[in-house]
């Protein structure tokens, strides 16, 4: 299933204008659009609430909302916030083994791979691989801000 050239041109025109030369905004959008590009593009476009998509925090908010949705279970919320908090406040980079030790990341008697769930949800703002590391310090700032 290919993406139509006309849609690509529309998306590029819309997104390039809104990136306003901010490289981290453009790379975050590119990562965000990798899974289900058309649906994610229309979600970004619909989030333009007068603040403009040029706002990096608005983009981060949209990516997190799209990735995790609004119907997270209590265990999932606890795991996501535990991992993001550990990533922000840890003195060194964390891998799966270190993160699994966090309270709430491992769900007893469950086949759910919580770290993979979190990795997929944060895909547009973290590096690929076994080490959890944010692409840019601005995402840490966003998580610590009142916008989050």
Report pLDDT digits (tens) over 115-145. 888 888 888 888 888 888 888 888 888 888 8
Q: How many residues does the chain have?
A: 148
What is the distance between the alpha carbons of residues 130 and 19, in angstroms, rounded to a whole number? 29
Note the pLDDT of residue 109: 59
- Cut 0.95: pTM above it: no
- pLDDT single digits (tens) 37-51: 888 888 877 765 544
Listed in order, strand segments (DSSP E) in the chain are 94-95, 131-132
């Amino acid at each position: 299933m290919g993406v139509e050239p006309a849609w690509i041109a529309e998306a590029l025109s819309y997104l390039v204008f809104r990136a306003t030369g901010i490289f981290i905004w453009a790379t975050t959008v590119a990562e965000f659009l990798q899974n289900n590009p058309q649906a994610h593009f229309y979600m970004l476009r619909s989030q333009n609430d007068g603040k403009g998509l040029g706002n990096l925090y608005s983009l981060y908010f949209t990516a997190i909302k799209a990735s995790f949705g609004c119907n997270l279970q209590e265990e999932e919320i606890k795991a996501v916030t535990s991992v993001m908090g550990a990533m922000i406040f840890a003195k060194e980079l964390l891998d799966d083994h270190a993160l699994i030790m966090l309270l709430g990341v491992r769900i007893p008697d469950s086949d759910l791979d919580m770290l993979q769930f979190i990795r997929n949800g944060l895909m547009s703002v973290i590096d690929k691989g076994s080490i959890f590391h944010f692409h840019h310090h601005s995402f840490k700032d966003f998580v610590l801000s009142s916008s989050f």
